[in-house]
Chain A
C-alpha cells in the first residue's frame, strides 16, 4: 500500500527555519516525484515545489524561490522540505503528495499533513 508518512507538528519563532520530512513506502521511491503543498488557515491549497527522487532535480514555485529547499535521502526513502525566514503567514499545514503518473499529474497519495505554527 502506497503511504507517505510526515514528521510531527512544529512550532517556530519568526525568522527561524523549519524542516518537514516525508517518508515514502509501498512503491519504488525513485519512480515518482514528491510534491509539497500547504494550506494556511482559511486559505486554499498552495503548491510549493517538487523533487525527482532519482536525480534530485527540483522545481520551486516562484513565490517560495529562495526560501524553500527540497532534498531527498534515497537510502531512507525520505524527502525533506526546509522553509526559512519564517513569518506568521507561514503558519499552515504542510503536505507532501505523490503524483499518479510521471510528468504533469494529479496527486493520488497525500501525507497526513504537518502543522507548522510560527509565533513569537
Chain B
C-alpha cells in the first residue's frame, strides 16, 4: 500500500499570498495517477488536479500541480478568500487507492 504524507498539516497565509502543499509517497509512483482535491466546510471534495499537473474542468489557473517520483506539489499562486479549505492528495494507480491526511489552509 502506498502511503501519502502531506506537509504542512496546517498552512496560515493571507489572501494574495502563494500557497504550497507537499505530498510525498512512500514509494515511487507514476505522476499519471496523482490527484489533488479541495474540500470546503460542508461540501464534498472537488477535484482540482489529476495526472499530477492537469487542471480539472473549470479549475482556475492559479491552481497548479507538479512533481514526479515520490514528491508532488500543489501550488496556489495568489490566494482568494474562497481558497481557504482543506486540500488532500490521492494516488489511484493501484489498489488500494490511498489519500493523504490533508492540509488545512487557514487565513492568517
Residues of A within 8 A of B (CB): 35, 37, 44-47, 59, 61-63, 95, 100, 104-108, 110-113
Contacts and interface: CB of A to CB of B under 8 A. Distances in A.
Interface of A, helix, strand, loop or mixed by DSSP: loop
7 closest Cβ contacts across the A-B interface? A106-B35, A110-B44, A47-B97, A45-B99, A106-B50, A44-B101, A61-B96
B33 to A, nearest CB: 6
A104 B33 contact: yes
Contacts of A63: 96
A112 B45 CA distance: 9
B45 A110 contact: yes
A71 to B, nearest CB: 19
Given A104-B33, A105-B92, A108-B56, A47 B98 contact: yes
Given A45-B99, A46-B99, A106 B92 contact: yes
Contacts of A111: 44
A106 B93 CA distance: 9
Contact of B96 (A47, A105, A106): A47
Contacts of B57: 108
18 contacts: A35-B97, A44-B101, A44-B102, A45-B88, A45-B90, A45-B99, A46-B99, A47-B96, A47-B97, A47-B99, A59-B95, A104-B92, A105-B92, A106-B47, A106-B90, A108-B57, A112-B44, A113-B44
B interface secondary structure, majority:
loop
Interface of B: 33, 35, 44-45, 47, 50, 56-57, 88, 90, 92-102
Most buried by B among A35, A44, A62, A111: A44
B50 A100 contact: yes
A45 B90 CA distance: 9
A95 B92 contact: no
A63 B96 CA distance: 9
Nearest to B34: A106
B98 A107 contact: no
